[in-house]
Structures are given as C-alpha cells and as structure tokens.
Amino acid sequence: MRSVGSKVTGVAGAALLTLLLFPIYWMIASSLTPESRLFQSPPLLPSTLSLDHYRALFDERDFLIPIRNSLVVAATTTMVALPVAALCAYALARLRFRGRGVLLALILAVSMFPQISIVPPLYLILRELRLLDTYPGLVLPYVTFSAPLAVWLLTAFFRQLSPELEEAAMLDGASRLRALWDVVLPLAVPGVATAAILTFLYCWNEFLFALSFTLGPERYTVPVAVTLFRGRYQVPWGQVLAATVVATVPVALLVLTCQRRIVAGLTAGASKG
C-alpha cells in the first residue's frame, strides 16, 4: 500500500513540477531560438541555438539600464522597509497597548487597496513633490505597499520567539532596542530573510506604479522596459523572452541562495531540551 501511495505521490509531484517548470523551459528555449524560427511549429528541443536576442538586448537596447533601475529601487525599498517593518512588528508582537489588534488590521488593509485606485492621487502627490521619474518616487510608494506584508510576517515570527530571551537580555543590562538588535534579530534571521525576499520580489516585479511614475527609458524598471519593447508593427518576442530570462535568473538565484541561509531550528536549545 505504502509503495503504491509513494508512487502516486511521486507521479503527482513530477506532473506538478513539469507543469510549473515547462513555461520556464519554453522561455529559455525560445530566447535561444533565432527569430526566423520562432513561429514555425516549434519542436520540443530547439535545433539551432543562437544568442542573437541577448546581443540585441544589450547592444541595441541597453537593457542594463532598466536592470540597474530595478536593482536600485528594489534594494533601496528593501533596506528602508525592513527596519521600519521590524520595529513596527516588534512593538506589535511584544508591547501591550490599546488598539493593537485594530492597528494590525489597518496595516493589512493598506496593502489591500487596489493599486490602480491610488495611482492618480499618488501621481499628483509625487508631481507636487517633484519626485516623478526619480528613484525616491518609486521607493516611497513601494515601501507603503510592501511594509504591511513584512510587518505581518515579522510580527508572527517575533511572537514565536520566547520573550524570556529579551527579558534575560534586559536584566543583563540591555535596553529594549539593544535586546532587539542583539538577541531578537539574530534569532529572527529566517523571518527577516523571508520578508526581505518578498519585499525585493514585490519591487522587482511591480509594474503599474513603475509605468505610471517614470517618464522615460532612463528610469524604466525591467517590467516597464520589457513591455515597451513592442514596436508599432511588431513585437520582438525573442528579445522579450531573452529579457525575461535575464530578469528572472538573478532573482531565482537570489531566492535559492537565501533559502539556504534560512536555517530553521536556529532557536533550538534556547530553552529546556
């Protein structure tokens, strides 16, 4: 029975994996297929490989600029949002104050607004502040939208940690902030890393704000740049796919490396065994 069960699980797992990975495979394979063959009924294995699309991407389009923009915006947002979210989450997880539940719900509600509904007001605000087509003009809205999720994640994570560890640190002479820095954060590394990855991914993939608040190729982020590849008469699918590969691979690598670093069980042995 058990072997049948495990076989079924194995087959289901393989099927799911194929389903998930096939588009990625297709994307990579097509990005290496010469333009002329892209629309012939395609074989599963490409017969000729070429790097033409990639060359065009970097020589003709200077795709490094949107990559740089996306990196700057995503990294800055992560670096701004996480400390704010961590402090906020710590307060929500540990301090007793009136209206804590309501506050937590409100924070979540912020991230539930349909983005499109606040594009016009945000546009006006950013124009007033002369932040249109600048990095801060993207970072600020991104922080507002990504911080709530980080707050929720970290609140849940901090709550799992034994308060006695911070109490011990405070009796050892540390202030609450020092205890947070020395004891809580090192133990919350898995949660902080998860929150950082999600924040980074949100910014990396965000499209609507980036499209609305940037005005030219100098500030386009990757999703905007790729969308605007299309010319008046044709869509350069090969380049679009090559760009997608370029945009996906670094992020996939980042997530995979960070995942290794997320060492579960770091807190094992904190208390009685």
CA–CA distance, 204 with 191 (Å, rounded to integer): 20
Say if residues 75 and 141 touch (Cβ distance below 8 Å): no
Q: Give the nearest distance from C-beta 89 to other proteins in angstroms.
A: 19
Task: Choose between 52 and 182: whose C-beta lies nearer to other proteins.
Answer: 182
* Stretch of residues binding other proteins (CB under 8 A), selected from 21-29, 32-40, 56-64, 181-189: 181-189
Secondary structure (DSSP) of 23-41: HHHHHHHHHTS-GGGTTS-
Q: Give the nearest distance from C-beta 187 to other proteins in angstroms.
A: 6
CA–CA distance, 205 with 119 (Å, rounded to integer): 17
* Stretch of residues binding other proteins (CB under 8 A), selected from 74-82, 107-115, 171-179, 194-202: 171-179
Task: Determine, following the binding rule CB under 8 A, whether residue 170 of this chain makes contact with other proteins.
Answer: yes
Task: Determine, following the binding rule CB under 8 A, whether residue 173 of this chain makes contact with other proteins.
Answer: yes
* Stretch of residues binding other proteins (CB under 8 A), selected from 80-88, 104-112, 151-159, 170-178: 170-178
Contacts for 168 with CB less than 8 Å, ≥ 6 apart: 183
Q: How many helices, marked H, and strands, marked E, lie in the chain?
A: 13, 0
Tell me the CA distances in angstroms from 13 to 1, 7, 18, 50, one per residue in order. 18, 10, 9, 33
Handedness of CA 184, 186, 188, 193 (dihedral sign): positive
CA–CA distance, 116 with 135 (Å, rounded to integer): 20
Tell me the CA distances in angstroms from 79 to 4, 136, 197, 226, one per residue in order. 49, 13, 11, 26
Site for other proteins in 93-122 (CB under 8 A): 96
Task: Determine, following the binding rule CB under 8 A, whether residue 149 of this chain makes contact with other proteins.
Answer: no
CA–CA distance, 196 with 258 (Å, rounded to integer): 10
* Stretch of residues binding other proteins (CB under 8 A), selected from 18-26, 49-57, 144-152, 262-270: 262-270
Q: Give the nearest distance from C-beta 180 to other proteins in angstroms.
A: 13
Residue from 38, 79, 174, 197 touching other proteins (CB under 8 A): that is 174
Q: Give the nearest distance from C-beta 252 to other proteins in angstroms.
A: 29
Residue from 44, 171, 256, 264 touching other proteins (CB under 8 A): that is 171
Residue from 79, 125, 165, 201 touching other proteins (CB under 8 A): that is 165
* Stretch of residues binding other proteins (CB under 8 A), selected from 76-84, 158-166, 203-211, 238-246: 158-166
CA–CA distance, 89 with 87 (Å, rounded to integer): 5
Task: Determine, following the binding rule CB under 8 A, whether residue 266 of this chain makes contact with other proteins.
Answer: yes
The residue ranges that bind other proteins (CB under 8 A) are 96, 162, 164-165, 167-176, 178, 182-183, 186-187, 266-273
